[in-house]
Copies of this chain bind each other. A is one copy, B any other.
Amino acid sequence: MSLLVVGTVAFDEIETNRGRSGKILGGAATYVGLAASHLISDIQMSAVVGGDFPQEYLDLFVQRKLDIRGIHIIPEEKSFYWSGRYHENMNQRDTLATELNVLAGFDPVLPQTYRQSDFLMLGNLTPSIQRSVIEQMDKRPRLICMDTMNFWMDTAWDDLLSVVGMVDVLAVNEEEARQLSGEHSLVQAARKIQAMGPPCIIVKRGEHGALLFYGDEKFYAPAMPLDRVVDPTGAGDSFAGGFMGYLCKVNDTSFESMKSGLIYGAALASFSVEKFGVKGLLDIGEQDIQDRLVDFVKLVSFSV
Protein backbone atom coordinates (compact mmCIF):
# COMPACT_ATOMS: atom_id res chain seq x y z
CA MET A 1 0.00 0.00 0.00
CA SER A 2 1.19 3.52 -0.72
CA LEU A 3 0.90 6.74 1.25
CA LEU A 4 0.74 10.13 -0.41
CA VAL A 5 1.88 13.01 1.79
CA VAL A 6 1.11 16.57 0.72
CA GLY A 7 2.46 19.47 2.75
CA THR A 8 5.39 21.71 3.49
CA VAL A 9 9.05 20.83 3.08
CA ALA A 10 10.94 23.76 4.47
CA PHE A 11 13.55 25.41 6.65
CA ASP A 12 12.97 25.81 10.38
CA GLU A 13 15.00 27.82 12.84
CA ILE A 14 14.15 27.07 16.44
CA GLU A 15 15.03 28.46 19.84
CA THR A 16 14.21 26.65 23.06
CA ASN A 17 15.69 26.84 26.53
CA ARG A 18 17.80 23.88 25.40
CA GLY A 19 19.52 25.94 22.70
CA ARG A 20 19.22 27.11 19.11
CA SER A 21 18.86 24.84 16.13
CA GLY A 22 20.27 27.07 13.41
CA LYS A 23 18.56 26.76 10.00
CA ILE A 24 17.52 23.14 9.67
CA LEU A 25 15.26 20.83 7.70
CA GLY A 26 11.60 21.23 8.66
CA GLY A 27 8.08 21.22 7.29
CA ALA A 28 4.99 19.14 8.03
CA ALA A 29 5.42 16.75 5.08
CA THR A 30 9.04 16.21 6.10
CA TYR A 31 8.06 15.01 9.58
CA VAL A 32 5.11 12.97 8.31
CA GLY A 33 7.20 11.27 5.64
CA LEU A 34 10.22 10.54 7.82
CA ALA A 35 8.06 9.18 10.65
CA ALA A 36 6.05 6.98 8.26
CA SER A 37 9.28 5.75 6.63
CA HIS A 38 9.92 3.65 9.74
CA LEU A 39 6.82 1.61 8.90
CA ILE A 40 6.38 1.54 5.13
CA SER A 41 8.50 2.07 2.04
CA ASP A 42 6.01 3.33 -0.53
CA ILE A 43 5.67 7.00 0.42
CA GLN A 44 5.04 9.68 -2.16
CA MET A 45 5.93 13.25 -1.25
CA SER A 46 4.21 16.26 -2.78
CA ALA A 47 5.71 19.65 -1.89
CA VAL A 48 7.52 22.65 -3.30
CA VAL A 49 10.98 24.00 -2.45
CA GLY A 50 13.25 26.74 -3.73
CA GLY A 51 16.67 26.71 -5.32
CA ASP A 52 18.19 27.15 -1.88
CA PHE A 53 16.97 23.72 -0.73
CA PRO A 54 20.07 21.58 -0.13
CA GLN A 55 20.60 18.49 -2.25
CA GLU A 56 21.61 16.63 0.91
CA TYR A 57 18.07 16.94 2.26
CA LEU A 58 16.66 15.49 -0.95
CA ASP A 59 19.27 12.74 -0.74
CA LEU A 60 18.15 12.05 2.79
CA PHE A 61 14.56 11.61 1.60
CA VAL A 62 15.69 9.22 -1.12
CA GLN A 63 17.80 7.31 1.36
CA ARG A 64 14.71 6.95 3.57
CA LYS A 65 12.93 5.55 0.48
CA LEU A 66 10.64 8.56 0.00
CA ASP A 67 9.47 9.14 -3.55
CA ILE A 68 10.43 12.76 -4.27
CA ARG A 69 9.20 13.00 -7.85
CA GLY A 70 6.39 15.21 -6.53
CA ILE A 71 8.74 17.66 -4.80
CA HIS A 72 8.75 20.56 -7.21
CA ILE A 73 11.90 22.72 -7.21
CA ILE A 74 11.63 26.37 -8.27
CA PRO A 75 15.29 27.35 -8.74
CA GLU A 76 14.79 31.11 -8.80
CA GLU A 77 12.81 31.21 -5.55
CA LYS A 78 13.50 30.49 -1.89
CA SER A 79 12.07 27.71 0.27
CA PHE A 80 9.42 28.25 2.94
CA TYR A 81 11.08 29.42 6.16
CA TRP A 82 9.70 29.43 9.68
CA SER A 83 11.42 30.59 12.82
CA GLY A 84 10.07 30.35 16.34
CA ARG A 85 10.94 30.49 20.01
CA TYR A 86 9.44 28.10 22.57
CA HIS A 87 8.52 29.19 26.06
CA GLU A 88 9.87 27.37 29.09
CA ASN A 89 6.74 25.18 29.20
CA MET A 90 7.27 24.05 25.56
CA ASN A 91 3.50 24.24 24.99
CA GLN A 92 3.60 27.82 23.81
CA ARG A 93 5.75 29.38 21.17
CA ASP A 94 6.22 32.74 19.52
CA THR A 95 6.65 32.88 15.77
CA LEU A 96 9.67 35.05 15.03
CA ALA A 97 9.46 34.91 11.24
CA THR A 98 7.35 33.29 8.54
CA GLU A 99 8.57 33.67 4.94
CA LEU A 100 6.18 31.90 2.59
CA ASN A 101 8.45 32.23 -0.46
CA VAL A 102 7.66 29.29 -2.81
CA LEU A 103 4.70 28.31 -0.68
CA ALA A 104 2.81 31.46 -1.74
CA GLY A 105 2.30 29.98 -5.20
CA PHE A 106 2.08 26.30 -4.21
CA ASP A 107 -0.49 24.55 -6.36
CA PRO A 108 0.60 20.93 -6.56
CA VAL A 109 0.14 18.96 -9.75
CA LEU A 110 0.43 15.33 -8.72
CA PRO A 111 2.68 13.08 -10.81
CA GLN A 112 0.58 10.46 -12.59
CA THR A 113 2.11 7.72 -10.43
CA TYR A 114 0.80 9.41 -7.26
CA ARG A 115 -2.83 9.42 -8.31
CA GLN A 116 -3.55 5.82 -7.37
CA SER A 117 -2.31 6.18 -3.79
CA ASP A 118 -4.25 4.23 -1.18
CA PHE A 119 -3.75 6.54 1.77
CA LEU A 120 -3.60 10.30 1.66
CA MET A 121 -2.25 12.63 4.32
CA LEU A 122 -3.08 16.28 3.72
CA GLY A 123 -0.83 18.50 5.81
CA ASN A 124 -2.03 21.90 6.98
CA LEU A 125 -2.40 23.94 3.76
CA THR A 126 -4.90 26.30 2.15
CA PRO A 127 -8.16 24.29 2.09
CA SER A 128 -8.65 24.89 -1.65
CA ILE A 129 -5.26 23.23 -2.30
CA GLN A 130 -6.20 20.31 -0.09
CA ARG A 131 -9.40 19.91 -2.12
CA SER A 132 -7.52 20.18 -5.42
CA VAL A 133 -5.28 17.28 -4.35
CA ILE A 134 -8.27 15.09 -3.56
CA GLU A 135 -9.80 15.96 -6.92
CA GLN A 136 -6.63 14.98 -8.78
CA MET A 137 -6.76 11.42 -7.48
CA ASP A 138 -7.76 8.80 -10.08
CA LYS A 139 -9.64 6.87 -7.43
CA ARG A 140 -10.87 7.81 -4.02
CA PRO A 141 -8.11 6.82 -1.54
CA ARG A 142 -9.02 4.23 1.02
CA LEU A 143 -8.44 6.80 3.77
CA ILE A 144 -7.89 10.54 3.73
CA CYS A 145 -6.61 12.32 6.83
CA MET A 146 -6.31 16.08 6.99
CA ASP A 147 -4.67 18.54 9.31
CA THR A 148 -5.74 22.19 9.46
CA MET A 149 -5.45 25.22 11.73
CA ASN A 150 -7.59 28.02 13.13
CA PHE A 151 -6.19 30.49 10.57
CA TRP A 152 -8.32 28.78 7.89
CA MET A 153 -11.37 28.90 10.14
CA ASP A 154 -10.94 32.67 10.28
CA THR A 155 -10.11 33.24 6.60
CA ALA A 156 -11.48 30.40 4.45
CA TRP A 157 -14.43 28.94 6.34
CA ASP A 158 -16.49 27.74 3.37
CA ASP A 159 -13.51 26.17 1.61
CA LEU A 160 -12.47 24.52 4.84
CA LEU A 161 -15.92 23.03 5.44
CA SER A 162 -16.02 21.65 1.91
CA VAL A 163 -12.71 19.79 2.42
CA VAL A 164 -13.65 18.63 5.90
CA GLY A 165 -16.70 17.08 4.26
CA MET A 166 -14.48 15.03 1.93
CA VAL A 167 -12.13 13.35 4.42
CA ASP A 168 -12.25 10.38 6.78
CA VAL A 169 -10.09 11.69 9.59
CA LEU A 170 -9.67 15.25 10.80
CA ALA A 171 -6.68 15.87 13.08
CA VAL A 172 -6.85 19.09 15.08
CA ASN A 173 -5.76 20.37 18.46
CA GLU A 174 -8.16 21.14 21.30
CA GLU A 175 -8.58 24.82 20.49
CA GLU A 176 -9.16 24.09 16.82
CA ALA A 177 -11.76 21.44 17.65
CA ARG A 178 -13.53 23.95 19.87
CA GLN A 179 -13.39 26.77 17.34
CA LEU A 180 -14.57 24.57 14.49
CA SER A 181 -17.51 23.19 16.47
CA GLY A 182 -18.36 26.04 18.81
CA GLU A 183 -18.50 23.46 21.61
CA HIS A 184 -16.26 23.39 24.64
CA SER A 185 -16.69 19.73 25.61
CA LEU A 186 -14.45 17.71 23.31
CA VAL A 187 -17.03 14.92 23.24
CA GLN A 188 -19.66 17.34 21.94
CA ALA A 189 -17.14 19.07 19.66
CA ALA A 190 -16.24 15.75 18.05
CA ARG A 191 -19.91 14.89 17.54
CA LYS A 192 -20.53 18.21 15.78
CA ILE A 193 -17.47 17.84 13.56
CA GLN A 194 -18.49 14.28 12.69
CA ALA A 195 -21.78 15.75 11.47
CA MET A 196 -19.73 17.87 9.04
CA GLY A 197 -18.45 14.73 7.37
CA PRO A 198 -15.45 12.90 8.86
CA PRO A 199 -16.40 9.86 10.95
CA CYS A 200 -13.06 10.07 12.81
CA ILE A 201 -11.73 13.01 14.78
CA ILE A 202 -8.30 13.07 16.37
CA VAL A 203 -7.90 15.75 19.02
CA LYS A 204 -4.20 16.36 19.61
CA ARG A 205 -3.34 17.46 23.14
CA GLY A 206 0.43 17.80 22.97
CA GLU A 207 2.13 16.47 26.10
CA HIS A 208 -1.25 15.13 27.24
CA GLY A 209 -1.61 12.78 24.28
CA ALA A 210 -4.52 12.57 21.88
CA LEU A 211 -8.16 11.53 21.79
CA LEU A 212 -9.68 9.58 18.93
CA PHE A 213 -13.40 9.75 18.30
CA TYR A 214 -14.43 7.00 15.87
CA GLY A 215 -18.16 6.98 15.36
CA ASP A 216 -19.49 6.57 18.90
CA GLU A 217 -16.26 5.03 20.19
CA LYS A 218 -13.46 6.90 21.85
CA PHE A 219 -9.83 6.15 22.66
CA TYR A 220 -7.18 7.97 24.66
CA ALA A 221 -3.62 7.69 23.36
CA PRO A 222 -1.29 9.00 26.07
CA ALA A 223 1.89 10.93 25.41
CA MET A 224 5.02 9.40 26.93
CA PRO A 225 6.27 11.46 29.90
CA LEU A 226 9.86 12.25 28.95
CA ASP A 227 12.94 13.21 30.88
CA ARG A 228 13.76 15.97 28.45
CA VAL A 229 11.84 17.64 25.65
CA VAL A 230 14.35 19.40 23.43
CA ASP A 231 12.20 20.56 20.51
CA PRO A 232 8.44 19.99 20.15
CA THR A 233 8.46 21.15 16.50
CA GLY A 234 6.94 18.51 14.27
CA ALA A 235 5.55 16.41 17.11
CA GLY A 236 2.02 16.51 15.69
CA ASP A 237 3.29 15.71 12.19
CA SER A 238 5.46 12.83 13.42
CA PHE A 239 2.37 11.60 15.25
CA ALA A 240 0.34 11.78 12.01
CA GLY A 241 3.15 10.05 10.11
CA GLY A 242 3.27 7.15 12.54
CA PHE A 243 -0.52 6.89 12.50
CA MET A 244 -0.90 6.93 8.72
CA GLY A 245 2.19 4.77 8.20
CA TYR A 246 0.72 2.11 10.44
CA LEU A 247 -2.71 2.14 8.78
CA CYS A 248 -1.05 1.92 5.38
CA LYS A 249 1.17 -0.93 6.54
CA VAL A 250 -1.72 -3.04 7.84
CA ASN A 251 -4.02 -1.77 5.09
CA ASP A 252 -6.88 -1.49 7.52
CA THR A 253 -8.95 1.43 8.78
CA SER A 254 -10.89 -0.23 11.61
CA PHE A 255 -11.13 1.29 15.08
CA GLU A 256 -8.69 -1.36 16.35
CA SER A 257 -6.09 -0.44 13.73
CA MET A 258 -6.57 3.27 14.33
CA LYS A 259 -5.92 2.78 18.05
CA SER A 260 -2.72 0.88 17.32
CA GLY A 261 -1.79 3.53 14.77
CA LEU A 262 -2.17 6.28 17.33
CA ILE A 263 0.22 4.48 19.67
CA TYR A 264 2.75 4.16 16.84
CA GLY A 265 2.20 7.86 16.22
CA ALA A 266 2.70 8.70 19.89
CA ALA A 267 5.90 6.62 19.92
CA LEU A 268 7.35 8.40 16.87
CA ALA A 269 6.32 11.79 18.27
CA SER A 270 8.09 10.96 21.53
CA PHE A 271 11.34 10.31 19.65
CA SER A 272 10.87 13.41 17.52
CA VAL A 273 10.78 15.82 20.46
CA GLU A 274 13.86 14.40 22.15
CA LYS A 275 16.21 16.11 19.68
CA PHE A 276 16.25 19.22 17.52
CA GLY A 277 14.49 19.01 14.17
CA VAL A 278 14.18 15.61 12.50
CA LYS A 279 17.25 14.18 14.23
CA GLY A 280 15.13 12.30 16.77
CA LEU A 281 13.36 10.53 13.90
CA LEU A 282 16.58 9.67 12.10
CA ASP A 283 18.58 8.32 15.04
CA ILE A 284 16.22 5.43 15.76
CA GLY A 285 15.75 1.92 14.43
CA GLU A 286 13.08 -0.74 14.61
CA GLN A 287 14.18 -1.99 18.02
CA ASP A 288 13.93 1.48 19.55
CA ILE A 289 10.37 1.75 18.30
CA GLN A 290 9.46 -1.71 19.59
CA ASP A 291 10.94 -0.86 23.00
CA ARG A 292 8.99 2.40 23.16
CA LEU A 293 5.77 0.58 22.21
CA VAL A 294 6.33 -1.71 25.17
CA ASP A 295 6.75 1.39 27.35
CA PHE A 296 3.38 2.63 26.10
CA VAL A 297 1.73 -0.69 26.90
CA LYS A 298 3.13 -0.49 30.43
CA LEU A 299 2.19 3.18 30.81
CA VAL A 300 -1.55 2.48 30.65
CA SER A 301 -1.81 -1.14 31.81
CA PHE A 302 -4.01 -1.80 34.79
CA SER A 303 -6.59 -4.25 36.04
CA VAL A 304 -9.82 -3.42 37.84
Contact = CB atoms under 8 A, between A and B. Distances in A.
Interface stretch (A26-34, A72-80, A125-133, A217-225): A217-225
A144 to B, nearest CB: 23
Contacts of A184: 88-90
Interface string A85-113: 00011100000000000000000000000
A195 interface: no
A187 interface: yes
A299 B218 contact: yes
Interface stretch (A56-64, A162-170, A257-265): A257-265
A304 B297 contact: yes
B208 A208 contact: yes
Given A208-B208, A293-B304, A222 B220 contact: yes
Interface string A193-213: 000000000000100110100
A259 B185 contact: no
A179 interface: no
A299 B188 contact: no
What is the total number of copies of this protein in its complex?
2
Interface residues of A, number: 39
Contacts of A217: 298
A218 B224 CA distance: 10
Interface stretch (A115-123, A226-234, A278-286): A226-234
A256 interface: yes
Contact of A260 (B205, B229, B263, B304): B304
B220 A300 contact: yes
Contacts of A229: 185
A275 to B, nearest CB: 15
Interface of A: 88-90, 184-188, 205, 208-209, 211, 217-222, 225-229, 256, 259-260, 262-264, 293, 296-304
10 contacts: A88-B184, A185-B226, A185-B228, A187-B227, A220-B222, A220-B299, A222-B300, A263-B304, A293-B304, A296-B304
The 6 A-B pairs with the shortest beta carbon distances in the complex, nearest first, are A208-B208, A259-B302, A300-B300, A220-B222, A293-B304, A187-B227
